[in-house]
Each structure stands twice: as C-alpha cells, then as structure tokens.
Structure 1
Amino acid sequence: MIAVIGSSNVDMVINVDDFTLPGQTQKGLELSYYPGGKGANQAVTSRLLGGEVYFLTCLGNDGNAQMMKRELEAIDLGNGIRYVDSPNGVALIEVSSSGENRIIVYPGANFHLSPEIIADSRESLLKADILLLQNEIPFESTLYAAKLFSEAGKTVIFDPAPSSNIDKSILRYVSIITPNETEMAELAGYNLGIEEATAKLHKMGCEDVLLKRGNKGVFFSGRSKSLVVPAFKVRAIDSTAAGDVFNGAFACSLDRGLDLHASLRYACAAAALSVTRRGAQKSIPRNEEIGSLLGE
C-alpha cells in the first residue's frame, strides 16, 4: 500500500506561443481547467496504475474544491479528504508551444494540512509501506510525516518541489529523494557536477538520490550502486506533472515488488507518455500503454 500526503489544486492552464515577458501582454491560445496539485497528481497516478493508495489532503470551501472532490472520489481516493474553511489551492500554469511550463501555486486549503491532521490519521497512514511526500503543504507537516514513517521502518520518497524553504534536517528521514536538476542545485549547491551533488546529499543523510533530468532520463545514486536510465524519445507538448507521474509510477512499481532498474524504466515510460498530452492528471497513462512503450 502507498500513502500520499500532499496538495490538491485546480490547475488553470493557459497555452501560449512563447512565455510572456516582463511588461508584455499577449493573447492566450487556449484556457483549460484540470485537477492537479503535486500530492493529488502522485496519488492519482499510483491509483490509476493499480496501486492501493491512501491520500491525505485538505480541500477548501469553493467550487474548485467540489471539482477536486468529484475527481478523487471517482477513483476511490476520497478516503483521506479533510475539509477546511478556505479557498481551495490553485495553480496558474503557462505552457509554451515547445511544451515547457511556468507555474505559480496559491496554496489555499493545502496550507491547513497540519501535523495534527497527520497525527489524527496515523493509523490509516501507517498501513502503507511507502510514503510519497512533496513540498506544497506546510514544511513542518512534511517533516513530521517523514519522521513518523522513517521511525516506523517505512520507505519515504520525498519530492523536494518546490525547493524553497526546505529544512535539510528532513533528509535523515528520507529513503529516496527525487529532485530535478534545478532542485538539486538549490539543495546541494550550484556549479556542482552530478556525482559531486549527489555525494553531498548522501553526506546530509539521504540514503538514495534519484535525479530526474527530463528528456535526459534519470540518474540514481545509492549507497552501494549507481544507475543511469535514459528517457524515452517522444514529442512533448506539455510537461506539466511529468515529475509527479514519474514519482507515482515509481512508487507503484516498487510497491508491486519490481526491482530498482525495472521500476525506474517503468516510471520513465509513464512520464514520457504524460508529456505527449495536455494537463496534469488527464495526462496520466495506463498500464497497457506503459507496457507497450516498454515493449512488453
């Protein structure tokens, strides 16, 4: 079983030819609304790929919260929803014609996901063997959850995104940290090579470092071995949530008992398929599609 503690947002996505420059006004090509939030994206990915998932999240008191409620309950992820008196979280996403994105997140209800709520859900959460965490809820809550699962002997996978305001004391409770290249630089320091940066994170307490490099694949550095898994070549149109799809697929694969290399390839395939579609949760592939890309 997989536990996910994290955010639920409604993504307001506007497609443009090129990113808007400071002081510039341009017409958008298309406006869409999608269910999102890094926590929800990872939980939904694991669930749609066949995982048993407990998702602890906070929803607000507005229409966006009702949209998220419908989406989560439709796939049996309503088990850990908590409601708070606040607007729901939203993300404003600008997507260029090359498929790159820029994102502004308003946390809203997500910032009410407190350590007390996590403690109140302790019994349900600790039924899981794997915990997925991100950084879109209060950091004190993320730290509390990481420590709770680590001390229970569980696997803690931490996606340090966004990478601001992270107390590095969390790293001693993390089994696998999954930054992208920008997040790695913020955590370990700029102008470092990959091996030097991962070695620095190991010294900070991380058991395993999994660097997500987009179309360059992934680099995994463990205490005893390193692995490089190339990306699958696809035509990207929207990279929104690709990292979340990777994490959700990776956790699901590990939970099934696949080995590390197979789990990394499975997650790379899932992420590759996701960037060929628009939206966050709407871009999540299914098992048969991933199997086809893997040649199975």
Structure 2
Amino acid sequence: MLQQMTPAAIAVLGSCNMDVVAFADRAPTLGETVAGRRFATIPGGKGANQAIAAARAGGAVRMIGAVGDDDFGRALRTVLGEAQVDAGAVRASAEPTGIAHIVVDARGGNSIVVIPGANGTVTSLTAADEAIVANSAVLLLQLELPMEAAIAGAAVARRAGTRVILTPAPVQDLPPELLANVDLLAPNEHEIAQITGIDEPREALRAMLEQVPEVVVTLGAEGCVYGARTQGGTLHVPAPKVEAVDTTAAGDTFVGVLAVALAEGRNMQEALRWASAAAALSVQRAGASTSMPKREAIDAFAALHVAPG
C-alpha cells in the first residue's frame, strides 16, 4: 500500500439526507404491513455518505450541497464535521432537509424512497463552489441533486482537469452534456442494467464504454468489474467474503474510498481492491455513515482478506 503524505483533495457535489431506517425480516409488498425489529434515524444521503467514506479513508474532503434549518440539518452538519469533512459549502435552505426512507431486511438487503427537500434547491454552482471543484483531484457526483447541478459541476471539473466519478443513482436519463465530462461511471449491476437495457453486467459495461472512458460496476457480494475504452477485456475484483448486516452504504463506501485511492495515484487494480475491502467492512455494520470504516481498519482488513497483485 502507498503511504499517504498529503491528503488527497476530494470534492463532493451531492445530497445530504437523514436516513429513516426500519429493520424487518423482509420488506412489505404493496398493501402489506409487516412487523419490524428496530428503527433508527441515521445521517446519510449519497453525497454525504461518499464524503464521509472518503474522509475516513484519509482524503481531504469538501462537500457542496444543502440542508434545511432543522434538527436533521444540524445533525448532518455535526456528523460531517466529526468525520473531518469541510461542510462550509453546504448551504442552509428554507426547504426541509432531505429524507431517505429505508427498509432493511434480515439478509441486509434494502429498499429506499428518497424525498429531496433541500437537495432540490441546488441547481447551480457559486464561484466558491467552482473553486472547490477546480482545486480538487477528484469530483464525486451522484444524481440526488438536480441534474443541472451535476452537469455544471462536471463541466467545471473538465476545464480544471479534475477527475469526475459519477454514481448514476437514482437512475434517470443521462444527458450527453453530462457524460461528455465524466471520466469514470460507477453504477451497481441493477443501475447499469436500467441505463443500458442489458442485464449481463459485462455486456452492459462494454456498451457504456461507448459513452464514457471508464466504467466500474459493483456486483454486491461478487465484487466489481472494471473496463476502460483504451483497454481490451474487463477486470474482475472479487469481494471479501463476509456476513452482511446492512448493505445500505456499501456502494457509497466503495466509491468514496476508490476516489481517495485514485487521487493518491494507486493503479486501478489496487484501488479497486482497497475500495472493495472498505465496502466489505461497511456491510458488517448497520446504517450508512455509521458503518464506514477508517483508513487504518481498511488497511488491516485488506492485508488479511485481499490477495495482492
């Protein structure tokens, strides 16, 4: 593993939500009521999750987004601060803080309904926001903010030479003007199937390489598969075998930690292995931000469970 000297500069343009989580043996079907085991409110949102994951992995992270002037918003600011995420560019909105309603089943699977709230007010970047993006090695984007914000952020990053990693969730049409400025697309297997209409992940990955230079598809317990337009074939990185408690934050942990690894100059295979180790650690604990491991834990786990090479 490379030894970090200066923290990698990571910008995150994304959502801040309070996760309202119900734990049950299984999720209810339409019109059905089931008994739950436990309830929790946990700070999250794909943007905040990726920011916290990257900060705990050793990145110097700055977050751009919005929360409401309410208890959930104050709790999110506190959690970001405790993770050493610079939240100075997280705006205060008259809209309430965004909410994610999550049901987690006995196998750790989840279903999620997101209500944007304050996130929906972030439709453009300020000059200060643009400076944060331009002065970072990597910009992390997701689609829980309005599309125009993602398009604007990616365009600023491209002009500045900042690497853009996009998590295309929740799935929606991806405008050409966004994809033109994305360096690495990071969907899960379900998202890339919805985007391309192709169920087989490797085939879907190859189809997406016609639109973006690099794609990594997360496959849950099967790990991830990566491909680049300039290379032939795909690279499969298996996931360490663990007992999953809650998979809610696995994808965001993977992407946040991957961003740090790439910003530090690790090669793609090593970066994917390190990110996979972090994701495997995260699924062994409940919650989103509460489950994300620190750098020392990732290194120790990877040394024991991830094959080198």
Q: Deviations over 1:35-89 (max 9, x none)?
A: 1000000001111111111111101121111111211223242222111101100
Matched letter for residue 143 of structure 1: I
In 1, Cα distance between equivalents of 2:285 and 2:21: 13
Q: Deviations over 1:135-164 (max 9, x none)?
A: 000011101111111122221000001112
In 1, Cα distance between equivalents of 2:246 and 2:104: 7
Matches within 5 A, 1:223-238: 223-225=229-231, 226-238=234-246
Which one is further off, 147-156 or 11-20?
147-156
In 2, Cα distance between equivalents of 1:36 and 1:43: 10
How far off its partner does 1:168 sit?
Answer: 4.2
In 1, Cα distance between equivalents of 2:85 and 2:223: 32
Report if aligned partners of 2:63, 2:85 keep a CA contact under 8 Å in 1: no
Identify if the C-alpha distance between structure 1 residues 85 and 237 changes in structure 2 by more than 3 Å, giving closer, same or farther: same
1:170 is aligned to 178
Matched letter for residue 211 of structure 1: V
Identify if the C-alpha distance between structure 1 residues 220 and 76 changes in structure 2 by more than 3 Å, giving closer, same or farther: closer
Report if aligned partners of 1:88, 1:110 keep a CA contact under 8 Å in 2: yes
1:203 matched to 2:210? The reply is yes
Give the alignment partner of residue 98 of structure 2, picking from 89, 93, 111.
Answer: 89
How far off its partner does 1:119 sit?
Answer: 4.2
Report if aligned partners of 2:257, 2:274 keep a CA contact under 8 Å in 1: yes
Give the alignment partner of residue 252 of structure 1, picking from 254, 260, 264.
Answer: 260
Q: Deviations over 1:264-286 (max 9, x none)?
A: 00000000110000000000011
In 1, Cα distance between equivalents of 2:245 and 2:288: 12
How far off its partner does 1:227 sit?
Answer: 1.3
The alignment's TM-score, normalised by the length of structure 1, stands at 0.95
How far off its partner does 1:129 sit?
Answer: 1.4
Give the alignment partner of residue 77 of structure 1, picking from 61, 66, 86.
Answer: 86
1:14 matched to 2:22? The reply is yes
How far off its partner does 1:107 sit?
Answer: 0.4
Report if aligned partners of 1:118, 1:145 keep a CA contact under 8 Å in 2: no
Give the alignment partner of residue 217 of structure 1, picking from 223, 234, 237.
Answer: 223
Report if aligned partners of 1:118, 1:141 keep a CA contact under 8 Å in 2: no
Matched letter for residue 174 of structure 2: I
How far off its partner does 1:183 sit?
Answer: 0.9
SS of the equivalent of 2:87 reads coil
Unmatched runs of 5 consecutive residues or more in structure 2: 1-8, 305-309
Give the alignment partner of residue 52 of structure 1, picking from 55, 60, 74.
Answer: 60
How far off its partner does 1:195 sit?
Answer: 3.5
1:114 is aligned to 123
In 1, Cα distance between equivalents of 2:85 and 2:122: 20
1:138 is aligned to 146
RMSD over aligned Cα atoms: 1.4
Identity of paired residues, percent?
36
2:272 is aligned to 264
In 1, Cα distance between equivalents of 2:16 and 2:71: 13
In 2, Cα distance between equivalents of 1:131 and 1:236: 29
4+ residue runs of structure 1 moved beyond 3 angstroms? Answer: 117-120
Alignment size in residue pairs: 293
1:5 matched to 2:13? The reply is yes
Matched letter for residue 107 of structure 1: P
Unmatched runs of 5 consecutive residues or more in structure 1: none
1:274 matched to 2:274? The reply is no
SS of the equivalent of 2:171 reads coil
Report if aligned partners of 2:63, 2:88 keep a CA contact under 8 Å in 1: yes
Matched letter for residue 251 of structure 1: A
Matched letter for residue 249 of structure 2: A
Identify if the C-alpha distance between structure 1 residues 275 and 118 changes in structure 2 by more than 3 Å, giving closer, same or farther: farther
